Copies of this chain bind each other. A is one copy, B any other.
Amino acid sequence: MTIQKMRSKAPTVADVARAASVSKAQAARALGGYGAVSEEVQTRVNRAAASLGYRPNEVARTMNTGRSNTIGVIVGDIENPHFGLALRGMADVARQAGFHLLLGNSDEKGQAEQDAVRVMLEKRVDGIIVAPSHSSREKNGHLLQVLEEGRALRLFDRAVIDLDVEAICCDFTAVAREATQQLLEAGHERIAYITSMELEGEYREAADFGLTPVAQRVGGMMAAFAAAGRRYDTSLIQANAGSDAQIARIVETLWQRSAPPTALIASDSLVAMSLLRAVAQRGLRIPQDLSFIMYDNFPWSEIVAPPLTVVAQPVYEMGREAARRLIADIRGEPVGPLPAFGAELILRHSVAAPAP
């Protein structure tokens, strides 16, 4: 272990300046790559920095530039591969642009989300991407804060009512209608939609879900029912499917009815897996006893028995686009119009006629 390594403190610009016999300001300019520096000084400083093992202190830099080159990302649940994939897209774009990701897990809880936003603001992130857990304007004061403090903001997967912030999401209305049509044509009438979104009380009207994908998905279902001259029974919409236990309870409730559903639609792959397990435990076979559709198209859905009919979303690309746009915003660069992200119904074998 050399003497250098034993230095109690890490070398600073001042140390480098001294070693290179230039002023602190000049050394800082050379090191930071700004201002005017002669070649001669530049190399002298570089050499000195290298031999001292100098490392810039990003914190100090952030302190007086006000920019941290960090963007905060708040997702509902990192464990959900949906967000894993989105995060990968964001990380890829961010890295290339020299930005870093500060992660926040909201657990789909409004309070946790607010806390995460506050902390990120305090840490002076340059911008935030959030998958909001609530869509009503009243519950999103913290997002307004972000704007008021002059930070960039983008929403992911969901929009917020009356909040003029770009939201990167798919439009599900058409695909939901298409999926429902498939089910209707196969002869289903009781189709349950299960989502992990939080909702207090029973489902009453689409507005309860605001601008969330849920609202679109339910809207699409209703449209399909209407087109078929039927009425959709909204009591089949089940929210709060956040854990295996809650999902087990939902399934139980559903099958206590005099007329249980004959088809299930899961809002994401985690909900789907849990649901699949719960219905298997009741001895229900897919698609003979129960038809099944899930949102998100992960590779495994293709090789399960039976292969699942799914709604595919370009999640990775959406993650990239969210990061791309947020960063452009931070830099004050222009961005083109937001491309439309289409969800697509992929027919496989989990939908059949209901048992007589």
Residues of A that sit less than 8 Å from B by CB: 5, 10, 55-60, 62-63, 68, 70, 77-81, 83-85, 87-88, 91-92, 95, 100-105, 112, 118-119, 121-124, 148-149, 273-274, 276-277, 280, 298-305, 316
Contact = CB atoms under 8 A, between A and B. Distances in A.
Contacts of A118: 55
Nearest to A60: B63
A148 B10 CA distance: 10
B122 A58 contact: yes
A77 B100 CA distance: 15
Contacts of A301: 300
Given A80-B84, A273-B299, 7 more contacts: A58-B119, A78-B84, A78-B91, A81-B84, A100-B104, A102-B102, A300-B300
Contacts of A57: 122, 124
28 contacts: A10-B149, A55-B118, A56-B122, A58-B123, A59-B62, A59-B63, A59-B124, A70-B102, A70-B123, A78-B84, A78-B91, A79-B85, A79-B88, A79-B316, A81-B84, A88-B105, A91-B103, A95-B105, A100-B102, A100-B104, A101-B102, A102-B103, A273-B299, A276-B303, A277-B303, A300-B300, A304-B304, A304-B305
The list of the 5 closest CB pairs from A to B, nearest first, reads A305-B305, A300-B300, A79-B88, A84-B84, A58-B122
A230 to B, nearest CB: 32
Contacts of A124: 57-59
A124 B70 CA distance: 13
A78 to B, nearest CB: 5
Nearest to A92: B105
A78 B88 contact: yes
Given A88-B78, A102-B103, A304 B300 contact: yes
Given A68-B59, A300-B304, A305-B305, A105 B81 contact: no
Nearest to A277: B299
A119 B80 CA distance: 27
Nearest to A300: B300
Contacts of A63: 59-60, 63
A15 to B, nearest CB: 15
A106 to B, nearest CB: 10
Nearest to A89: B79
Contacts of A298: 300
Given A78-B91, A305-B304, A55 B121 contact: yes
A92 B346 CA distance: 35
Contacts of A300: 273, 298, 300-301, 304
A59 B84 CA distance: 28
A305 B349 CA distance: 13
Contacts of A68: 59
